[in-house]
Amino acid sequence: MSFLKVDNLSVLYGKESVLSDISFSLEKGETIAVIGPNGSGKTTLFRALLGTIPFTGEIRWGEKVKIGYVPQRLDLERNLPLTIQEFLLLHPLSTKQGSYSPNEVLGIVGLDPQFLEKSLGSLSAGQFQRALIAFALIAQPTILLFDEPTASIDIKGEETLYDLLHRLQDVHRFGMILISHDLTFVYRYADKVLCLNKKQLCFGIPQEVLTPQELERLYGTGGKFYHHIHGY
């Protein structure tokens, strides 16, 4: 049984189709990268997977799947009186056995323990994203959903973050679905790639399905991405 199996998933906003006929599956320890231009339905796919929006089709999670979710951003007020420690402990499973302590999970994402007492609103964008990742990891998930993890992390941090995710994945064997704009990452780490533009344009092993023709069909940007990949 797969960790996750999605069949013929479609989402409508009003009468407009934002996702149609998406089918893919995720096995244990696998990484799927979701790519596509802005507005192609990537975040909508995550919302459907989390069950926060209505959809048609079927989403089947494996038994005892624990989801960790890193949103693209959180719309928080700067003066929100919530410390990192309090934030991490909001996770209902954080106090259960088999979860990390707030201290441990901060270490894992590369934040100093002194951050525990800092307020969530006082963090820089990069630190804030690490705090979100820590929240997603604290209960030791079996599947991690990442929405554009590169969006607010600086280049130097980005490298270590991907390396970190990869290392954690090697140890814990969690499955991962990752929305990414970074094709270098897709080639290096993703087992499979799902190309979206409101409908499913491709699904398979990156080296096989990401042909220059496919990328042009997906992004319509001529050879830009093609050169980017070969530059890597």
- Interface positions with another protein (CB under 8 A): 14, 47, 50-52, 67-69, 71, 74-76, 79-83, 86, 89-93, 117, 119, 135-136, 139, 145
Q: Between 1 and 82, whose beta carbon lies closer to another protein? A: 82
Residue 139 Cβ, how far from another protein at the closest point, in Å?
7
Who contacts 104 (Cβ-Cβ below 8 Å, separation ≥6)? Answer: none
Q: Between 30 and 147, whose beta carbon lies closer to another protein? A: 147
Beta bridge partners of 19: 11
Residue 70 Cβ, how far from another protein at the closest point, in Å?
9
Q: Between 84 and 210, whose beta carbon lies closer to another protein? A: 84
Contact 145, 155 (CB under 8 A): no
Who contacts 32 (Cβ-Cβ below 8 Å, separation ≥6)? Answer: 24, 26, 175, 176, 177, 178, 190, 191, 192, 193, 194
Cα dihedral 122, 126, 129, 135 sign: negative
How big is the chain, counted in residues?
A: 232
Q: Between 79 and 213, whose beta carbon lies closer to another protein? A: 79
With CA atoms as reference, report the closest residue to 123 among 150, 158, 84.
84
SS3 category, 14: coil
Q: Between 165 and 210, whose beta carbon lies closer to another protein? A: 165
Residue 148 Cβ, how far from another protein at the closest point, in Å?
14
Q: Between 90 and 205, whose beta carbon lies closer to another protein? A: 90
Residue 72 Cβ, how far from another protein at the closest point, in Å?
10
7-35 burial, b for 16+ CB within 10 Å, e for fewer?
eebbbeeeeeebbbebebbbeeebbbbbb
**What residue ranges in 43-101 does DSSP mark as E strands?**
56-61, 67-70
Residue 230 Cβ, how far from another protein at the closest point, in Å?
37
Q: How many angstroms separate the CA atoms of 74 and 111, rounded?
A: 19
Residue 66 Cβ, how far from another protein at the closest point, in Å?
8
